[in-house]
Amino acid sequence: MSGITIEKNDETSTRFTFTNGSLVVLIRNGDLSQEPCDALVNSTNTWMNPSGGLDKGIHQLMGQFFTDQVVSIHIAMKEDSCQIGQSRIFVAHYDDKNINTRFIINTVGPVYSEETKEYATFLLKSCYHTSLALANLYQLCSIAYPAISCGAHHFPPQEAARVSIESIREFSYNVKDVRFVLFDTATYEIFLKEWTDYAQKVNREANSIDQTPVIVNESLKTLSSTSISSTNYCVLCQDKKLSIDEQLLCNDCLKMARAEMFNTILTRLRLAAEKSYDELKHVCQMLKPILKSYPLVYTPVQIFDQSIHKRDHIAETYLQTYCTQEFRNFMPMAIIGDGNCFYNAFVKLGGGGAGTTTDTMTLTSVELRARNIIELVLNIDDYIAQYGHLSCFLENFEDYVRKEMMHDTNLITIWDLLSIPTVLNITLISVYPKVNGDDDLHHQYINNMLFIPLIHEDENQEQNNGPLVMNKEVRLLFSNGNRVMMDPSQKKDNWLPNHFVPLLNFK
């Protein structure tokens, strides 16, 4: 399953569609001022005084109503009208039906030089951050960019394109339609190449274990079940013999930082899954003892803090329009839709760092995914027995865990929800909007359902996840990256969620 589809519309435009529905990016060779969308981003100067090029063209096209707004700021703030890396939003026009743009977002890009390229990169990223923050604040769905700073400010287009990729993935949130309309053909071709390379890299990582970004010993790819079962070798790298004093890991593996350790564990799981389900189960059994050496005490945030958390306006609309009354006094917290939103939601619930670990290292989505796979594979029969009433929503587990659960960019199913409460020692409450009407079985079965930790007969919770603590509730909304026509009286039969959003209390 690919993460991003690449579709060439014609000789001047290519569309990149994220298969989880989180984002569509269009790269077009053309005139930005003629692009119909919610907001055009206009690259201007700190005075916001149009001196030519795109800036002047947008003023001429939008007319006096737009120009008067800009001038009022210019008169009051002069050279501080818009600082480098910052953005300001303006209404594009007053009831002009010939203009298909609602807002203009002015931003000021940096001047590039080799001596200060790191600072220039930071400021360029800030242009995307601040402009997308405004677009999200105004609940806009589409935004179109020029190649900020690539003209007179001499920012290398290749580097600028890479900044755009990183920024859009990090800051787009509810803006699901992002376009780059580039007048210069050479710049267009560079942006197109960089986005194509990025999409192909994502697709390779989603579909081919050989392209996993974690670097491990090549011998892992050729391990047999017999060699894995040997107790004389490190259970992780399987390359070094253990000394008498070493029980599980060799000295090199013991020196790994926590994040690197779980990156390597997930890679081992992916390699095993490529061979067979039996191999995967065997590797899970081998790796499970390592988890006890990395205790996890998870303390999720409960209260929504406007100074820290971003609202997810699309999810908020689903919540208030289609969810049952008991959930309407909660606020959806925005989670980036990068194909890993389920695990990112639990990471983000720590307020930017996530639940704590006993060695003060930050919890990562990779660690959560690895722990969840091991937990679910080794106890699948118990989970099927506990949640047998959900069997109509559960696909073949062996196929799912081997082909889908191993990789991000793939849509999460109910399987992942079954075991994550055990991994984190939480009670998970699922919230499913009634978008498809009263007959929707997903809403009937899944809404307001409690997923609780599995109690293992052979070991207590302290052995599993560290010191025993009272588990906390986490509410998770099944949402969608795109808006739906908000008419609760009109039945919709084909709505499906593709995004997970945590719900927080107000106090």
Write down the pLDDT at residue 228. Answer: 42
Residue labelled with tokens 């900020």 = 148
DSSP state of 174: T
Residue intervals of the chain classified under CATH 3.90.70.80 are 313-505
Give, in words, the CATH class of 313-505. Answer: alpha beta
Say whether pLDDT at 256 is over 60. yes
Which whole number is the average pLDDT over 327-352?
Answer: 84
Residue 129 — very low, low, confident or very high, per pLDDT cuts 50/70/90? Answer: very high
Which whole number is the average pLDDT over 392-421?
Answer: 89
Alpha-carbon distances, residue 318 vs 18, 133, 288, 433, 504 (angstroms): 21, 21, 39, 7, 15
Q: Which fold has domain 4-207?
A: Leucine Aminopeptidase, subunit E; domain 1 (3.40.220)
**Percent of the chain scored above 70 by pLDDT?**
85
pTM above 0.85, yes or no: no
Residue 42 — very low, low, confident or very high, per pLDDT cuts 50/70/90? Answer: very high
Say whether pLDDT at 360 is over 60. no
Which whole number is the average pLDDT over 271-280?
Answer: 94
- CA 39/CA 37 separation, integer angstroms: 6
Among 20-24, 65-69, 285-289, 344-348, the range scoring the smallest mean pLDDT is: 20-24
**Percent of the chain scored above 90 by pLDDT?**
57
Say whether pLDDT at 189 is over 50. yes
| Contact between residue 156 and residue 120 where contact means Cβ atoms under 8 Å apart | no
Say whether pLDDT at 220 is over 50. no
- CA 428/CA 441 separation, integer angstroms: 19
Residue 205 — very low, low, confident or very high, per pLDDT cuts 50/70/90? Answer: confident
Say whether pLDDT at 485 is over 90. no
Write down the pLDDT at residue 246. Answer: 56
Residue 210 — very low, low, confident or very high, per pLDDT cuts 50/70/90? Answer: very low
Write down the pLDDT at residue 244. Answer: 61
Which whole number is the average pLDDT over 165-182?
Answer: 92
Q: Which residue has the higher pLDDT, 194 or 172?
A: 194
Q: Which residue has the higher pLDDT, 252 or 206?
A: 252
DSSP assignment string, 70-87: HHHHHHHHGGGSS-TT-E
Among 156-170, 380-394, 480-494, the range scoring the smallest mean pLDDT is: 480-494
Residue intervals of the chain classified under CATH 3.40.220.10 are 4-207
| Contact between residue 228 and residue 218 where contact means Cβ atoms under 8 Å apart | no
